[in-house]
Amino acid sequence: MGEERALIIFLLIALVVIAVVTTVSFIFMMSGAPFRGQARDFSSNGERIFFAGRNSRNAIDFRKGPPWFQMHGGGCVVCHGSDGRGGRVPMMGGFTAPDIRYKTLTMPHDDEPAFTNATIKRAITEGKESDGSDLSGNMPRWRMSDADLNDLIGFLKSLP
């Protein structure tokens, strides 16, 4: 009889442990932390937008971009790389993203005029090239405040 009781107690404890682990991991996943890099500390708002697609309050809204990006979200880093130099984005067929370091954007390139702060903001929010033509739909169109845009441009300037 004593053995049976011990077994029941053991099973009850095991159930409680499983319930706690499941609840904690569920809360962690729903918080979006694994996807949006919230666990990381950023030294500026511009850096946070670049890496996590978030300002100090919430995730920054966007339109367009490839379907996988619409599902997972994230920052500029996902396509333009942690050094901002762009390159091949291999997901789902793949495409290339350009170098968006401030010093590259503000030089004339690919037969396009140099970007200014105003046309960089327009590229980010409206998806326009420096000559006013449309960028491809792979570049998301971000709903960003002017303050956030200035912080982000400040971060692009800091990329070596």
Count of residues touching ligand HEC (by CB under 6 A): 25
Q: Say which residues have a Cβ less than 8 Å from residue 66's Cβ, sequence separation at least 6.
A: 91, 92, 95, 137, 138
Q: d(Cα 77, Cα 152) in Å, to the nearest integer? A: 12
Contact code string over 17-36 relative to ligand HEC, x by CB under 6 A: --------------------
| Cβ atoms of 63 and 126 closer than 8 Å | no
Report, in Å, the least distance between residue 129 CB and ligand HEC.
5
The residue with tokens 């396009």 is 112
The label of the residue with tokens 């890099």 reads 37
Interaction of residue 149 with ligand HEC, rule CB under 6 A: no
Binding mask 64-93 for ligand HEC (x = CB under 6 A): -xx--x-----xx-xxx-------------
> Of the two residues 78 and 159, which places its CB atom closer to ligand HEC in the complex?
78
Which burial class, exposed, middle or buried, applies to 42 when counting CB atoms under 10 A from its CB (0-12, 13-18, 19+)?
Answer: middle
Would you say 58 and 144 are in contact if contact means Cβ atoms under 8 Å apart?
A: no
Tell which positions 105-144 bind ligand HEC, by CB under 6 A: 105, 120, 123-124, 129, 135-136, 138-140, 142
Q: List contacts with ligand HEC (CB under 6 A).
A: 49, 65-66, 69, 75-76, 78-80, 95, 97-98, 100, 105, 120, 123-124, 129, 135-136, 138-140, 142, 152
